[in-house]
Structure 1
Amino acid sequence: MTSVAFGPDGRILATAVLASLTEHTAAVQAVAFHPDGDTLATGSMDGSVRLWDTATGKARAPLATGFSGVFSLAYSPDGRTLAVVGGDGAGRLLDVTTPPDPDKTIQQICRTFGRDLTEEERAAYLPDGSDASVCP
């Protein structure tokens, strides 16, 4: 990890020391706390951004960035937008007020990683428990 961030109340520091956030498939390069402190965003060299519940440590569905790697993250002061910068220096603004669409998430996983979902991913993103292949 090449980034650290204090939570808004100054009591939590996001680093790779105390807890391991293992949902990414490559190194975490960026971290940012939501202004309310309840969510931590992590950006990885796998091109994904994940939002984590700081109370439980549980990950939510990844956010598609379109980048091959994420190098920097920052929340807007109102917490509604997450700025993401990729390795080529391009930036994107992600609306984080609505949960990601599971179908779009699955399609992004297929495009990004070129593989089907693991059992754990299937349980997280396919609430009906379907075991059908989702990637072409």
Structure 2
Amino acid sequence: MIMTSPVIDPLGRYRYAKDLKAKGQPYPSLVDEVLPCHDAYWKTEAAMDEGAPASALERGEKMQLPPVLYLQGTEDAAHPRPHLDRFVAAYRKAGGVVDLELFNGEGQGFIMRKVGSPASNRALDLIGEFTHKQLR
């Protein structure tokens, strides 16, 4: 499974956005995107927590644990680092394998937003290598 800046903790992300909004302007534009989208899709905070992979792993739910390649920029304000760390720890504790690659100074969506950049090219190379490794 290849993960590029996933919404790995919907409830955590929702609360993060609400906290940013409560502090007042200026806040990142993602706040005004995240809150209505989460409300429309998830409806409740309970559903957000139930749908969070790390929460499911921490509850001991049985699930398949395919190898994971997790790519994220260190400056990704839309996907807070603690959410990544929580998922990686829970996945590994459950017996899953995670190859984590952090891209220093890169923000949300850098792979597609900065096509041709060294970071984007490196991410695409890693995706190719990971895919070939899984197909062997």
Q: TM-score scaled by structure 2?
A: 0.29
The structure where strand makes up a greater share of residues is: 1
Q: Which has the larger radius of gyration?
A: 2
The structure where helix makes up a greater share of residues is: 2
Q: TM-score scaled by structure 1?
A: 0.29
Q: Which has the higher contact order (CA 8 A, sep 6+)?
A: 2
